[in-house]
Chain A
């Protein structure tokens, strides 16, 4: 600990060097840690995707064995979902929520530190399984028994890593809720909160409701394997399908955990660059809440082929189709916000517009998948792979990148290079569509997902997809370069940064002081 402290700078006092980051309880430092960790995991998970696309470049086995290929698909999903997208959103929440609601910091700073520092250990454990006897988990990120019970020595490490990720997420969610409920500045009523804060509040409740369910389901796997229980073993009176029900009761809200904060981000960016207030603020809040509610009653649409009774299939089909209504409301509101605005297209806006278009494409394929009689054909094919990558990559990841460009000048005090940012956007958008659009055709033509080798009829689209994949992967190195360049220097950013920006975070200097609002601002 540094001993040189003056009374004047007392509030800015913090250790320097490594100790600053290990012991920090500051929401900005922890936000930075989360974001950098997410970026690192995005590269690790991306490298795994490159291995997958290389193996699928042509029929036959060229680079990896099938077992390792399955490990790659499994680990790619776990790393991207729990290591990249979720921590990135928590990082954004840490940086932005206190600044947006006029608070000095998060409500529970020590827990904030703990919830971050669990993550590197969780992922060290998960990634170490790559070097274990029997290899890394290869039963898919959904961990369906009985297959997952065939995992080698990696099995308990997988379960323990998932538990740690869950604990971290739950603590992060508690912190978000307590902060938003208790630490709003005077006059910041619920219905005046920026949409990013609203979507995160709802996301946090989803996390608290579902993460314990995931923890329970993987614990039952653990006892089935080591303590002779038969939760999921028919031979002992259990039911393997019950795991799928429990898992997707977590899993479907989870996909909204991965997209609701993105909705919030886009709802901040579009009004700024359209120079026009968000259209239908309150309907956006209600739509978000409706989506969150519906997410709890649609889980079995992931399991239309397990052999449910007809009435069950009908219920889950209808409930799933209903989600299109509030999601549609959101898209219509974004378009109406742009309508008759005075738009400019800086990089954050490009990512936001790209999000609206490509997320909607993912939404369309989602609607198609909701129709049970055709889902029997789409299920477990590349059509599904295309669908969830449209909503997760061009949806969640594009929103995170847009958010980075939007708030990076605020965080660092430096403007990024607009020219490079735009280049990054256009390269990403073109390559990501070359990567994922052909996968719709592969799925419709009958290519199952999670296979390391395929019939030659699928070759052309796989090659196209792989070329897009390599290009998208390389393009992200440009993103890393832009971020580092902006942290190190650049044109000085003003307080407001963007001409059309409104909200409390834009009233603070760029970069903001260590403790955001020492005295609470008044909101009229």
Chain B
């Protein structure tokens, strides 16, 4: 990609001149808040522009007066200091006038806020759960649920590959919603506080463990809208994006049907016996998506922060204990309880993988049926 090549040339030591030409070469940067694609985002944009212009107007008057004074009232120009230092009338005027301006801004702001907080009469409800560091989505009325994680490869993050078009703002399973429908999100978290934010939808809301927050949007146009977690949530806070695909009603129904089919196939798969090769293959993928952020792809963890699995007492000890740790987590640490997040097959695959990868060669094979029994 031309843009990323320009950027690499920059790092190679080009100066400010090169920076300017690079900036003009890729004029995709924005200066202002997005108008977005929902009534809420339009409302936020309108308030933003109103208050911005009010500030600009006040700024012109105040700074204008000040700079006139700075130019005219200098000692070097022979200015003699006046001695006035008080005027109750003036003080009252510049207390009242700003107050009136504020009231005139508070009225539309209140109107916008009341509209934004009205989550009643929604068409569909989706539960959003924040995890370190991914998002879970449950379509409450459809019985569809899945986890959505970053799809950008590590090689791009560590500059071993060119960065893709949607670097850091791409996921494996986007959330799909119908256009022109009032979608209500019920937002919560499984561990620490996160915040769900897609700028083009016009609002963000914190995901708080133990509590459920609400927000809503109605998307006018079909398309893909991207955002990310907005509340510091630990190491990979910068790596848990959100992708929303807004589709027409027919495509949305089709997507729901596909999801249900995949879920049924998954459930059926849990009842048969899996071979070592199958579990290891699936385990490697699922490990990369769910575990590697902390325990690392090498299984060596991060000393002092996240324990190693390679040669660890748990990953090479009794199977039941290992399974318990993965399913129920460890209280007071970043180790989450994965029982609610992953299917029987995925859990079996991950545990099998951890017990046999990186020289942990225990030879143990954990079947999905064993996971089911342990639930």
Summarize B's interface: helix, strand, loop or mixed.
Answer: mixed
Asked if B208 contacts A453 (CB within 8 A), the reply is no
Interface size counted on chain B using CB atoms at 8 A: 108
Docked pose: A328 CA to B232 CA in angstroms: 33
Having A310-B114, A335-B62, A456-B167, one finds 5 other A-B pairs with CB under 8 Å, namely A134-B304, A234-B208, A441-B30, A444-B31, A454-B238
* A356-B102 in contact given A146-B192, A147-B193, A451-B238 (Cβ < 8 Å): no
Asked if A373 contacts B113 (CB within 8 A), the reply is yes
A298 within 8 A of B: no
B261 within 8 A of A: no
A264 within 8 A of B: no
Asked if A459 contacts B195 (CB within 8 A), the reply is no
Docked pose: A337 CA to B65 CA in angstroms: 12
Asked if B114 contacts A140 (CB within 8 A), the reply is no
Residue of B nearest to A357 (CB): B63
- Which chain B residues border A374 with CB–CB below 8 Å? 33, 44, 47-48, 51
- Give the interface segment out of A41-49, A54-62, A205-213: A54-62
Docked pose: A233 CA to B192 CA in angstroms: 10
B359 within 8 A of A: no
Asked if B110 contacts A314 (CB within 8 A), the reply is yes
* A317-B232 in contact given A67-B305, A368-B55, A454-B238 (Cβ < 8 Å): no
Asked if B236 contacts A277 (CB within 8 A), the reply is no
Asked if B75 contacts A380 (CB within 8 A), the reply is no
**12 A–B contact pairs at CB < 8 A?**
A61-B159, A153-B304, A239-B211, A240-B209, A307-B205, A314-B110, A338-B70, A353-B70, A371-B47, A371-B109, A374-B47, A453-B239
Docked pose: A235 CA to B214 CA in angstroms: 20
B95 within 8 A of A: yes
B59 within 8 A of A: yes
Contact with B along A339-372 (1 / 0, CB 8 A): 1111111000000010011001100100110011
Asked if B202 contacts A70 (CB within 8 A), the reply is no
Which residues of B230-261 are within 8 A (CB) of A? 230-239
Which residues of B78-98 are within 8 A (CB) of A? 79-87, 90-91, 94-95, 98
Asked if B81 contacts A147 (CB within 8 A), the reply is no
B311 within 8 A of A: no
* A356-B91 in contact given A70-B237, A368-B52 (Cβ < 8 Å): no
- Spell out A's residues near B (CB within 8 Å): 57-62, 66-67, 70, 132-135, 138-140, 144, 146-147, 149-150, 152-153, 225, 233-235, 239-241, 274-283, 305-307, 310, 313-314, 317-318, 321-322, 324-325, 328-329, 331-332, 335-345, 353, 356-357, 360-361, 364, 367-368, 371-374, 376-377, 379-381, 441, 444-446, 448-461, 463-464, 467
Which residues of B26-82 are within 8 A (CB) of A? 26, 28-34, 41, 43-44, 47-48, 51-52, 55, 58-59, 62-63, 65-66, 69-70, 73-76, 79-82
Asked if A457 contacts B28 (CB within 8 A), the reply is yes
* A343-B304 in contact given A360-B59, A376-B44, A377-B33 (Cβ < 8 Å): no
Inter-chain contact total with CB atoms closer than 8 Å: 309
- Which chain B residues border A241 with CB–CB below 8 Å? 208, 211
Asked if B62 contacts A460 (CB within 8 A), the reply is no
Contact with A342, one of B58, B81, B192 (Cβ below 8 angstroms): B81
Asked if B209 contacts A147 (CB within 8 A), the reply is no
Contact with A along B193-216 (1 / 0, CB 8 A): 101010100111110111101100
Asked if A234 contacts B193 (CB within 8 A), the reply is no
Distance from B57 Cβ to chain A, minimum over Cβ atoms (Å): 11
Docked pose: A376 CA to B113 CA in angstroms: 10
Asked if B109 contacts A372 (CB within 8 A), the reply is yes
Asked if A339 contacts B48 (CB within 8 A), the reply is no
- Which chain B residues border A324 with CB–CB below 8 Å? 98, 102
- Which chain B residues border A153 with CB–CB below 8 Å? 304
Residue of A nearest to B202 (CB): A377
Residue of A nearest to B200 (CB): A446
- Which chain B residues border A356 with CB–CB below 8 Å? 66
Asked if A305 contacts B205 (CB within 8 A), the reply is yes
B22 within 8 A of A: yes
Asked if A70 contacts B193 (CB within 8 A), the reply is no
Distance from A412 Cβ to chain B, minimum over Cβ atoms (Å): 26
Residue of B nearest to A318 (CB): B106
Asked if B98 contacts A325 (CB within 8 A), the reply is yes
Contact with B195, one of A279, A282, A380, A460 (Cβ below 8 angstroms): A380
Asked if A444 contacts B32 (CB within 8 A), the reply is yes
Contact with A368, one of B48, B70, B90, B239 (Cβ below 8 angstroms): B48
Residue of B nearest to A140 (CB): B232
Docked pose: A53 CA to B24 CA in angstroms: 22
* A307-B206 in contact given A332-B94, A357-B66, A455-B169 (Cβ < 8 Å): yes
Asked if B79 contacts A280 (CB within 8 A), the reply is no
Asked if B69 contacts A338 (CB within 8 A), the reply is yes
- Which chain A residues border B167 with CB–CB below 8 Å? 59, 455-456
B318 within 8 A of A: no
Residue of A nearest to B214 (CB): A307
Asked if A58 contacts B10 (CB within 8 A), the reply is yes
- Which chain B residues border A282 with CB–CB below 8 Å? 86
